[in-house]
Structure 1
Amino acid sequence: MRATSTLLLLALAGFSQCALAKDMTLRVGGFYSQSDSSIDVTDPVIGKDFRLDFESDLQLAENQFLPFLEFEYAFADRHNLYFDWKRLHRSAETNAVTRPFQVQIDDTVFVVTAGGKLNTTLNIDVLRLGYGYDLLQGSDYSLGITLGLHTMFIESVFEGAIGACLATELDGDLCSQRPIPRIVENNVTAPLPDIGLIGHYEFFPGWRFSAHGQYFAIKLDDLEGSLTDIRAGVSADLGESWSLSMAYNYFKVDVDVTQSAENIKVADYNIFYRFIGPMISVSYRF
């Protein structure tokens, strides 16, 4: 982590010293994702923990069209900076919760009762800042290494038949509920490092083949996660500044955020976010 941060700081320093950009590219596109996400909660009736699935239990969409944004800045011949953003925002209404569940924030216990309506929102944003260096470079090709930091932002909102009580008011596993309208919880994962390879080849004037692969896996005190990102595709120039890209992408994020006594969250998150399939984007070079 420290070595990766140092390299990124050096890259940013070089970026600030560079007077003119060699090439800047803004890319906007979309793709379909397959999602599987859950939280570990407690059944207040029997006092047992269980895994609540956002898709099958709370009706969030499993497959959805998602936008993405990428920015690339090439400077000083062999150096590149990357900024990526992927967005997965979903909401759904459950007409009747099949099983009650209980979560805790600080010293307050929240209980969602069975049989009532519940509106659920789960928003996930994945940001990446990366640096690349071209090891090999020719008139029509390049091959380099990349280092980056991913950060995942998670927001969950529950609205509906919800009760609340202080943890000190618990009688066994049950509490005397006072109705409230909603529960809101935000989590931000620590920056997660990745390393990878990236290459480009212009096989015909204005036509380029590009591919990259990135990977990380990390385990901290309350966080365990991995990311795999492999993409290959072809782009064609539409003019002096515009281009159209078609690619095939395998992208998977698997993150477990564990609840701890010192930093209490709503529950233990288990986020699995996967995409396997085609993607399309439009780029503008300036």
Structure 2
Amino acid sequence: MIKSIFYIVIMLLCTQSANASNIDNSDPMSIMDTFSLDFGVFYANSDSNMAVTNPKTGGTFPIDFEDTLLLAEEQYLPYFELTYTFNQRHHFYIDWKSLDRQADNNHVNEDFILEDIDGKDYLIEVGTKLDTELNIDILRLGYGYDVWQGTDYAVGISIGFHTMFIEAVFKGTIGTCIPDSSLTSLCSNVVATPEVVDDTLTAPLPNIGIYGSYELYHGWTFSAYAQYFSVAYDDVDGSLIDVRLGIETQCSENWSLKLAYNYYDVDITIEKQRKMNNNVLKTFDHNINYSFTGPLFAVSYRF
């Protein structure tokens, strides 16, 4: 879904750029209007977990997707960013990061219940073979304005939104339970279920940032930015830190290479509640921590 949205936006902006090519180049402001498309790879070191319920005591505890369910911690993943610069100081940008992982655990080592997925509870027992997928997409939209500009430097501020799309898929011998009013399930009636899918969409979470660039010498530019947000909204509590330092070298009029070092950390907690006997009761929290620290390499095309 998110990938399709991203590709549609790219097509629309490319269409706009084609129309813009018909503008009279005698207008100096129109000459400065450009699109820049970056595509490359980044290194991700991920950590993610969610709260589950102990079927014997009714208490909750965190289950780690990497340590317990064996999802990969380290991975090289694709990266895309599209930027539209106009009227010399203004920038619109959109970028997309994706983390899709899958792992098979032939022997689960503890009992736990996945609560309130499509109104049902699901039991995973010790010794069960469990296949797990965790797919996370992050879409970033924003606007930047150059507050200070010179012949070889620019410093600005940015505002934008991050939206996370999370899909967790569990496949195996999974029991279906019906909780009582205290949310303690004994799961006496277990029915084998081949697949459980939990989809979560976070509301757009705002961020603010600063950025700057400096041309060290002709064709070589140093750039940096930092973005941050922390917000609690309805049942979502989230924070983000995104810092990048990099060098860009221009290969030709339209092509350039970028090498950067990136620290990126998103921590999202989503509280779930269920209504039972006219009472609203908390069930469990999704806690997704998605982070990477390491190099990013991209090829940039300006048009």
- Equivalent residues of 2:55, 2:184 under 8 A apart: no
Q: Secondary structure at the match of 2:273?
A: coil
Gaps of 5+ in 1: 1-14
**Among 164, 168, 171, which residue is 1:159 paired with?**
171
Report 1:3-152 matches (<5 A). 22-103=33-114, 104-152=116-164
- Supply the distance in 1 between the matched residues of 2:181 and 2:220 (Cα, whole angstroms): 67
- Equivalent residues of 2:177, 2:185 under 8 A apart: no
- Check 1:171–1:249 CA distance in 2 against 1; reply closer, same or farther (3 A cut): closer
- Equivalent residues of 2:274, 2:282 under 8 A apart: no
Alignment RMSD (CA, Å): 2.5
TM-score by length of 2: 0.84
- Supply the distance in 1 between the matched residues of 2:182 and 2:123 (Cα, whole angstroms): 11
Would you say 1:181 and 2:194 are equivalent positions? yes
TM-score by length of 1: 0.88
- Supply the distance in 1 between the matched residues of 2:119 and 2:246 (Cα, whole angstroms): 51
| 1:20-79 residue CA offsets vs partner (Å, 9 max, x unmatched) | 571110001111111111111112133221111101000001111121111110012211
- Check 1:242–1:171 CA distance in 2 against 1; reply closer, same or farther (3 A cut): closer
Aligned residues: 272
Give the structure 1 partner of residue 252 of structure 2: 239
Q: Which amino acid aligns with 2:222?
A: F
- Supply the distance in 2 between the matched residues of 1:92 and 1:128 (Cα, whole angstroms): 28
Moved more, 138-147 or 154-163: 138-147
- Equivalent residues of 1:215, 1:228 under 8 A apart: yes
- Supply the distance in 1 between the matched residues of 2:225 and 2:175 (Cα, whole angstroms): 48
Give the structure 2 partner of residue 280 of structure 1: 297
- Supply the distance in 2 between the matched residues of 1:125 and 1:222 (Cα, whole angstroms): 20
- Supply the distance in 2 between the matched residues of 1:107 and 1:23 (Cα, whole angstroms): 49
- Supply the distance in 1 between the matched residues of 2:177 and 2:184 (Cα, whole angstroms): 13
Give the structure 1 partner of residue 287 of structure 2: 270
- Supply the distance in 2 between the matched residues of 1:280 and 1:178 (Cα, whole angstroms): 48
Q: Which amino acid aligns with 2:110?
A: R
Q: Which amino acid aligns with 1:283?
A: S
Fraction of identical pairs, as percent = 47
Q: Secondary structure at the match of 1:269?
A: strand
Q: Which amino acid aligns with 1:274?
A: S
Give the structure 2 partner of residue 220 of structure 1: 233
**Among 271, 274, 295, which residue is 1:261 paired with?**
274
- Supply the distance in 2 between the matched residues of 1:258 and 1:270 (Cα, whole angstroms): 9
Give the structure 2 partner of residue 193 of structure 1: 206
- Supply the distance in 2 between the matched residues of 1:235 and 1:28 (Cα, whole angstroms): 14
- Supply the distance in 1 between the matched residues of 2:45 and 2:185 (Cα, whole angstroms): 36
- Supply the distance in 2 between the matched residues of 1:108 and 1:197 (Cα, whole angstroms): 45
Moved more, 104-113 or 167-176: 167-176
- Supply the distance in 2 between the matched residues of 1:171 and 1:266 (Cα, whole angstroms): 8
- Equivalent residues of 1:107, 1:167 under 8 A apart: no
- Equivalent residues of 2:179, 2:185 under 8 A apart: no
| 1:177-203 residue CA offsets vs partner (Å, 9 max, x unmatched) | 111101001000111111111111112
Instruction: Measure how far apart 1:221 and its partner are.
Output: 2.7
